[in-house]
Amino acid sequence: MDSAIEVRGLTKRYGEREVLKGISFRVPKGAISLYLGPNGAGKTTTFRLLAGLERPDGGEILFWDRPWSPEVKQTTGVTLEEPRFYPWLTGAENVEIVFRYRNVEHSRRHALEALDRVGLGDAAHHRFGKYSLGMRQRLYMAAQLFPGVRAVLLDEPTNGLDVEGREQVWRMLMDLAKQGVSLFISTHQVLEAERYAEYLVVLHEGRVAYQGRYRDLAMRRRIIVRATRPGDAVAMLARAGFRAYPGRREEEVYVEAPAEQLARVLEVLKDGGLHVFDGRLEDLEELYWRIKDDVQRTDQVEA
């Protein structure tokens, strides 16, 4: 896998608190990669380190096999936390200032083009101070779409957007990926990962719980069955060669088997005389929480 970004053994502490605990991951070139984790997992801290705003306590960060440098900065866009622009200037004027700082020729024209790409063309000449939260978020993204951009790091880019606005942003991001731009996007929205991610890095309490292609992760989903007498269901499935165990909820049984085995699992239980209320695949949100639980158990063993 060709990497746009590679993180090796990255650590970061604030006083006695270790926020990042030696994380390592890669961001592939020209793809949509999501950095998935709950608030407080360490995603924004990672982004501040990637942007060169803070120094790590250990490890290294490489962009296209090179450390952070002015050259890397000139080809990398970054959004972090709340958008801040001059409230008395228009959206177009604010983006133009950013592009001039990046030495972009014809910065005015490119600023207007960037605003069109994020759906703010009609508001280009409105003052930033009059923008809604969603409009401010999109303006922040527009400021990263300068000519020659190779990678864009977006920290929670759809916060504050309604459903239509979110769809518009994701369409734009998919277009950017098709043009070869490498996108690394932090989010705590599991459904966004399921719909848009090509590659995932899952962070939990400062550790990488998973990294790899989304489709590889999806293949790890369990079969979840609700049936009468779950204890008997586990025994029947074990005799049929399946690895099964009681679920968290009453009447649930978890089966470690690929998706194509769902029909066979249901057949085994029905042939055994059990009534099956429901049989389905674990969704990504359930799998996400299970991965986090696995990390917690590993930490407890190491402690």
Q: Residue 301's pLDDT band (boundaries 50, 70, 90)? A: very low
Torsional sign, CA 162, 165, 169, 174: positive
Tell me whether the CATH fold assigned to 3-218 matches the one assigned to 223-281: no
Q: What is the pLDDT of residue 158?
A: 81
At 64, which amino acid appears?
A: W
Dist CA 269 CA 183 (whole Å): 45
Q: What is the pLDDT of residue 303?
A: 47
CATH topology of domain 3-218: Rossmann fold (3.40.50)
Q: With b meaning 16 or more CB within 10 Å and e meaning fewer, what string describes 41-75?
A: bbbbbbbbbbbbeeebeebebbbbeeebeeebeee
Q: What is the pLDDT of residue 200?
A: 92
Q: What is the pLDDT of residue 61?
A: 94
From the options 3.90.640, 3.90.550, 3.30.70, 3.30.43, give the CATH code of 223-281: 3.30.70
> pTM to 2 decimals?
0.81
Tens-digit pLDDT profile for residues 265-300: 999 999 999 989 889 888 777 787 777 766 555 554
Tens-digit pLDDT profile for residues 106-124: 999 999 999 998 889 999 9
* Residue % of the chain over a pLDDT of 90: 46
Residues 26-50 have a mean pLDDT of 90
Question: Domain coordinates of the chain in residue numbers?
Answer: 3-218, 223-281
pLDDT greater than 60 at residue 159: yes
Q: What is the pLDDT of residue 287?
A: 80
Q: Residue 172's pLDDT band (boundaries 50, 70, 90)? A: confident
Q: What is the pLDDT of residue 233?
A: 93
Dist CA 18 CA 16 (whole Å): 6
Contact 107, 100 (CB under 8 A): yes
Q: What is the pLDDT of residue 299?
A: 54
Q: What is the pLDDT of residue 38?
A: 79
State which H helix or E strand residue 248 sits in: none
Q: What is the pLDDT of residue 221?
A: 84
| DSSP-derived secondary structure for 32-88 | EEEEE--TTSSHHHHHHHHTTSS--SEEEEEETTB-S-HHHHTTEEEE-SS----TT
Tens-digit pLDDT profile for residues 75-109: 898 888 777 899 999 999 999 999 998 889 999 99
Mean pLDDT of the chain: 87
Tens-digit pLDDT profile for residues 183-242: 999 887 777 777 888 999 999 889 998 899 988 887 888 899 999 899 999 999 999 999
